[in-house]
Every structure is written in structure tokens, then in C-alpha cells.
């Protein structure tokens, strides 16, 4: 209508389509990693706009969440982040149990009165949810949320923080170094520098026949070694650059030793 057009409303809006998720060009199962699993990011949101002092919404303002994007595939979440987000954990369990995802206003879950708005029909849900976390989070969920947790999350997989020092794992370490250099734009590591990194990994587990798989620490060492190599105007990261990075790391953490 003319009045709707004057208010900036599309007169053909009732005939428009809002495709929440388009997987027509996807050949494999979707794998969605949601780094911020709050209610809106997980289950979608209903956006609103202000018109003449009030908030209105329509079907074109329905936005999908990670559950919609991962439908038919895998959804990867960090347990601590889900538990910290208000309502997200209970909503996730309800969606898995009922095998459907509802696009609702999160305020409704807390009992607040909100103006009547859209109520889209639930979307059938068929996905695998992978929740990652440390042992303390796992024990918390098995004790405080025992019945639901065991019923919904049946498979537990543990990852060791160390692996055997053999040729296969040494090659994997070298591959990790190469991939990190490519991803972070680091200088290439010479053979001596890579060997020193692996020695550092063995020292982290205090076993000359093992290697640490705490790759966050290894990545930090690679970045620091790259810094010292660039400061030395070197085109590659050599053994002494890695040793310097290790020594600087020890220096930053030896306050107690200095005071003894």
C-alpha cells in the first residue's frame, strides 16, 4: 500500500522468500564450529526494526543459528562456553531430545513479558553434537546433570597430552610446524630449529621417549622463535633462535628461583 511504502515497508514483502539455510551447493556434511554459543547464535534470532515508536518484525527478519546451519551434519561446541551462556545448555538439550530446533525469543525462556511476535514452526533436527572440554567440566556435568548428560551424550573420547617419540609422530610434528608457519606467516624452520622444537616437546612431558601434544604451547614457541629470527635479520628460524625463545620463556617464569 501507499502508506506502507511511505513507512519504508516493502509492499511485496508478503510474497518474498527467506531461505534460512541454502545447502544446495554443499557436497559433504556440514561441520559448524560455534565459538560463541549464546542463545541467538545457537538457535537463531528474530530481528526487529522500529517503526513509529514500536518494534515490528516479519518473516524476512528470521535469522538462522548454528543448529540450523549444522542440520544434517555436525555441531562442535565448547562445554564451558555453552554453560556460561544463559539458557543455552537447557535449550541445546531440549533441541537434541525433541529432535527439533525452535526459533524463539530468548526472553521468553526467562519469563519476561514480550510483545506478541512471530512464532515460526520448529525445524526438524538431525545432527551430531560434539561438546569439548576438560576433565573438570566432564565431572561437573556427570554429577550435576547426571540423567540428561548421560542420556544425550553417550560417547566419550579422551585425548592424551603426549604421544610416543617415533618416526610417524616426528613427521606429524614437522607437518604441524610447516602448517603453522603457513597459517601464521612465519619464517621457515631449518632442520636444527625443528629438532629443537621437538626437544622442547619432549621436555614438556619429562620423558625423552614422548612428545607433548599441547600444541598451543608449541605454537607459541614457534611464534616467539620467528620473532627472534626476524630480529636477527635471518631468512629462516635456526636452532639458536628456538633456544633463545625457550630461554626467554624460562626467564619470564623464574621469579621464585631468583629469590631463593
- Name 74's bridge partners: 31, 128
HSE of 252 in the Cβ direction (CA atoms, 13 Å)? Answer: 6
Contact (Cβ atoms closer than 8 angstroms) between residue 140 and residue 84:
no
Directed axis angle between helix 191-204 and helix 167-184, to 10°?
110
pLDDT in tens, the chain (260 residues): 444 544 456 777 777 777 888 878 878 899 999 999 999 999 988 877 777 777 677 777 788 999 999 999 999 999 999 999 988 999 999 999 999 998 887 766 665 556 656 788 889 999 999 999 988 999 999 888 877 888 899 888 888 888 999 999 999 999 999 999 999 999 999 999 999 999 999 998 888 889 998 999 999 999 999 999 999 999 999 999 999 999 998 888 877 777 76
pLDDT of residue 8: 56
Highest CATH level, class, for 162-259: mainly alpha
Contact (Cβ atoms closer than 8 angstroms) between residue 237 and residue 229:
yes
Contact (Cβ atoms closer than 8 angstroms) between residue 223 and residue 186:
yes
Q: How far apart are the first and last CA of the chain?
A: 83
Q: How does 220-255 read in b/e, with b if 16+ C-beta sit within 10 Å?
A: ebbebbbbbbeeeeeeebbbbbbbbbbeeeeeeeee
From residue 221, alpha-carbon distances to 69, 198, 205 in Å are 36, 11, 16
Contact (Cβ atoms closer than 8 angstroms) between residue 40 and residue 65:
yes
Residues of the chain with CATH 3.40.50.300: 2-152
Right CATH for 2-152 from 3.40.50.300, 3.40.1160.10, 3.60.60.10, 1.20.1430.10: 3.40.50.300
Strands 188-189 and 236-237: parallel
Phi, psi of 61 (to 5 degrees): -105, 15
C-alpha span between 98 and 86 (Å, rounded): 20
Residues of the chain with CATH 1.10.8.60: 162-259
Q: How does 179-217 read in b/e, with b if 16+ C-beta sit within 10 Å?
A: ebbeeeebbebbebbbbbbbbbbbebbeeeebbbbeeee
pLDDT of residue 107: 66
pLDDT of residue 108: 65
Alpha-carbon Rg for the chain, nearest whole angstrom, is 26
Amino acid at each position: 500500500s501507499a502508506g506502507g511504502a511511505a513507512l519504508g515497508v516493502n509492499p511485496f514483502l508478503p510474497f518474498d522468500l527467506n531461505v534460512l539455510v541454502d545447502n544446495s551447493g554443499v557436497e559433504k556434511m556440514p561441520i559448524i564450529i560455534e565459538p560463541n554459543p549464546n542463545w541467538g547464535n545457537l538457535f537463531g534470532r528474530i530481528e526487529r526494526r522500529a517503526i513509529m515508536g514500536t518494534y515490528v518484525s516479519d518473516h524476512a527478519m528470521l535469522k538462522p543459528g548454528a543448529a540450523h546451519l549444522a542440520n544434517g551434519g555436525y555441531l562442535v561446541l565448547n562445554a564451558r562456553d555453552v554453560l556460561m551462556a544463559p539458557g543455552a545448555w537447557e535449550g541445546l538439550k531440549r533441541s537434541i531430545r525433541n529432535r527439533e530446533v525452535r526459533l524463539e525469543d530468548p526472553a521468553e525462556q526467562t519469563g519476561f513479558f514480550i510483545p506478541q511476535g512471530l512464532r515460526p514452526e520448529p525445524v526438524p533436527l538431525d545432527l551430531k553434537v560434539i561438546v569439548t572440554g576438560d576433565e573438570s567440566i566432564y565431572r561437573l556435568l556427570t554429577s550435576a546433570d547426571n540423567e540428561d548428560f548421560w542420556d544425550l551424550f553417550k560417547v566419550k573420547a579422551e585425548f592424551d597430552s603426549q604421544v610416543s617419540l617415533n618416526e610417524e609422530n616426528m613427521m606429524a610434528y614437522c607437518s604441524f610446524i610447516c602448517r603453522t608457519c603457513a597459517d601464521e606467516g612465519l619464517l621457515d624452520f631449518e632442520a636444527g630449529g625443528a629438532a629443537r622444537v621437538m626437544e622442547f616437546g619432549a621436555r614438556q612431558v619429562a620423558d625423552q621417549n614422548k612428545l607433548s601434544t599441547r600444541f598451543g604451547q608449541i605454537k607459541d614457541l614457534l611464534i616467539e622463535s620467528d620473532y627472534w629470527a626476524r630480529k636477527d635479520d635471518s631468512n629462516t628460524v635456526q636452532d639458536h633462535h628456538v633456544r633463545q625463545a625457550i630461554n626467554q620463556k624460562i626467564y619470564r617464569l623464574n621469579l621464585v628461583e631468583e629469590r631463593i
